[in-house]
Amino acid sequence: MVSTSPATTYRKLTAYLDQIPGHRRNSRPHPSTLIRWASVGVKLPDGARLRLRAVRLGAKWVTRDDWFAEFVESLTNAYIATDSPAGFRTPGERSDASKAAEAKLKELGL
């Protein structure tokens, strides 16, 4: 539910464009980028979608500073490595894993 308290300040999505770096020097994203983040979301590494919280107010999409900060923080955390290392295996580790898998398949009769 949308809060209608007087302390709630909504800003147009375009107000956040200057906070987001573009792909090229001195550029910024197109306004449709933020609308896409609010409507479709951003695909995360695990396949889930993260959406920017926003509401439609008249003919404009608006969000709040805390919602935008929450979105950026969640997006950043999704790309930070977890405690379990998902790094590369050495050739020796791959060979050992292959031999163990082969032994297990022989054990199962395959």
Structural domain spans, the chain: 1-79
What Cα–Cα distance (Å) separates residue 105 from each residue in 3, 33, 102, 109? Answer: 59, 49, 5, 6
Answer yes or no: pTM beyond 0.75. no
What is d(CA 110, CA 108) in angstroms, rounded to the nearest whole number? Answer: 6
- Residue 74 sits at the vertex; the CA angle it makes with 40 and 8, to the nearest 5 degrees, is 80
What is d(CA 95, CA 89) in angstroms, rounded to the nearest whole number? Answer: 10
Residue 80 has pLDDT above 90, yes or no: no
Amino acid 1: pLDDT:
58
Q: What are the pLDDT digits (tens) for 10-61? A: 999 999 999 998 888 888 999 999 999 999 999 998 899 999 999 999 999 9
Query: pLDDT tier at 3 (50, 70, 90 boundaries)?
Result: low
To the nearest whole percent, how much of the chain has pLDDT over 70? Answer: 87
